[in-house]
A and B are shown apart, each in its own frame.
Chain A
Amino acid sequence: MNFGAVDWVLTVAYLVASVALGIWAKRYVENLAGYMVAGRRVKVSLGVATFVATELGTVTYVYYGELGYLAGFSGFIIGILAMIAYTLVGRTGFVIEGLRRFRVMTIPEFYELRYSRNVRLLGGIILFLGGVLNMGIFLKFDGIFLSEVMGFGPGAIAIIMTVMILIVVSYTILGGMFSIVITDFMQFVVLSFGMLVATIAVLVRVDLASMSAVVATTLGQTGVDPLANPRFGWTFVLWIFVASAAAAALWQPGTSKALASESPEVAKKVFFWTGLTFAGRAMIPMFWGVAALAFFGPGLSSAAAMPRLLGAVVPTGFLGLLVAGMLAASMSTYSAYLLAWSSVLARDVIACSRPKDFQESTTVAVTRVVAGVIGAFLLIFGLWYQIPDTAFQYLYLTGAMYTSGALGVVAAGMYWRKANIVGAYSSLVMGAIAPAGFLILEKSRDALPAWLTFVTDVNIAGILSFILAGLGMIVGSLISQRTSPPKPLTLPVQP
């Protein structure tokens, strides 16, 4: 165990600075737009920093590190697919440009503009459920990572989880998006430096030749060819590419960076430059995972191997920087996700269930209460839930519960005049069926009839959700044009 007194000082100093900065930012929250989208005044570089920080949590390192340990270099394809998907969305402005022009604060708000208030309500419920389930495993993985790196072992996981969620909930509740943007910037700098330190330490202690050799002997061709690897294959490649493009455009925590941007043009640049970092975002932790395979050999717990490697190779002093970097990564992710899901529940579910919207101050108050409740739920869920398959696929599948339907509803609503309410309902419901089916049936795989076992293949369930959602929108809209004529977008477009 290399975690010494200097590392403790660095870690505690970082935590205190984060909380102080987050709470200080509360003074800039002047209204609802200030709380939820930082007054729409975020420029390109700050937008990129906050976007990367949001999309890079400790959970990201753990699930990518796990894939590197289990699948060798084959998983690197995910980084390339994500980079292409995000830069394409940034270059074309697909969906994000339109959402920013309509000045919405949450994605389901667009459903009401284009379809109806009830579509917004259903979309809000699915987005909230998918989002919170998706976030449910973050805390547990962070607890595993930090307890391994710091040398405490599994006994400390629950304590680490509790401390982290308390800190993040406190400043997110108070300062909203302003706190997030300001703390994200500091967290981005710290996490980037932490990643650099870890990568150099791994390269110093584990040579490339031994990594190549262990992948060849342990995994053979499946360790370098993603199409030959049974974990991946063509269905996986196709699903991850479509899911990445959908998540780039429609995953509330990420899309909120476009909604907080100074203009639609700035939003596009933020997505393009952030997209370019996405290959490294995936490949760097996977590289650490492959190094863990070379360092320890196979047979360790796949989630704990990479953190244990970092705990062993990063020297005292730098380990504190690494832990601060990982804490930074997690806190920036939690805060953005907490705000995103609490905003959706407050504005798109609770407020939409009433005949009239809340006043701005009430919306902020309800959002704060909901953020606290989600924090408590995450702690309980993280301690209790056993994650199926690998974490990576769990995250993409719970995300697909919402993004598949949303892709149909928002993209068709923006670019297809015939999209109507029936198509929107069909798309949202059918998009959620396959992922929900997987999550429910996966544990009863052996009891299923043979013809239904395909649902328990995570890659098939993932790609199926997008196909069903697309079909739901097209067929639903076309068969009901007379009974439910499409509603045109009438809100005046503002810069």
Chain B
Amino acid sequence: MTTGALLWFILFGMAALLFFTIAFVVTIRGAGDLRHLIGSSETQEKDA
């Protein structure tokens, strides 16, 4: 394996890890945010 390719594989590994970690956290926390968005919209609908 060439040194250049090895360097890019390491950077790829870090980038992929960061992507999937953020995706996992956002999936968990985003569900709560979505409930808040829908909940606040329903409240506004009733107030109106």
Contacts and interface: CB of A to CB of B under 8 A. Distances in A.
- Asked if chains A and B come from one complex, the reply is yes
Interface of A: 27-28, 30, 34, 38-39, 41-49, 52, 73, 76, 79-80, 83, 178, 181-182, 185, 188-189, 192, 195-196, 199, 208-209, 211-213, 215-216, 221, 223-225, 273, 276-277, 279-281, 283-284, 287
Most chain B CB neighbours (cut-off 10 Å) among A44, A73, A79, A225? A73
Contacts of B11: 76, 80, 279, 283
Interface string B3-33: 0111111011011101110111111111111
A212 B6 contact: yes
A185 B34 contact: yes
Contacts of B37: 38, 41-43, 46, 181-182
Interface of B: 1-2, 4-9, 11-12, 14-16, 18-20, 22-34, 36-38, 40-42, 44-45, 48
A44 B45 CA distance: 23
A185 B30 contact: yes
A73 B26 contact: no
Q: From DSSP, what is the main secondary structure of chain A's interface residues? A: helix
Contacts of B36: 41, 43
Contacts of B26: 45, 48-49, 52, 188, 273
Contact of A277 (B6, B19, B27, B38): B19
Contacts of B16: 199, 280, 283-284, 287
Contacts of A47: 33
Contact of A49 (B20, B27, B42): B27
Contacts, number: 129
Given A182-B34, A189-B27, A212 B1 contact: yes
Contacts of A34: 41
A287 B37 CA distance: 36
Nearest to A76: B8
Nearest to B11: A76
Nearest to B31: A185
Contacts of B2: 212, 215-216, 224
A178 B45 CA distance: 14
Contact of B15 (A195, A221, A280): A280
5 contacts: A30-B44, A34-B41, A188-B23, A212-B2, A284-B15
Contacts of B9: 208, 212
Contacts of B7: 224
Contacts of B12: 76, 283-284, 287
Given A43-B36, A76-B12, A225 B18 contact: no
Nearest to B7: A224
Contact of A46 (B18, B19, B25, B30): B30
B5 A41 contact: no
B23 A45 contact: no
A188 B15 contact: no
A276 B20 CA distance: 11
A281 B19 contact: yes
A237 to B, nearest CB: 16
Contact of A279 (B18, B27, B30): B18
A52 B16 CA distance: 14
Given A279-B18, A280-B16, A287-B12, A45 B29 contact: yes
A267 to B, nearest CB: 14
Contact of A215 (B5, B22, B34): B5
A196 B20 contact: yes
A52 B8 CA distance: 23
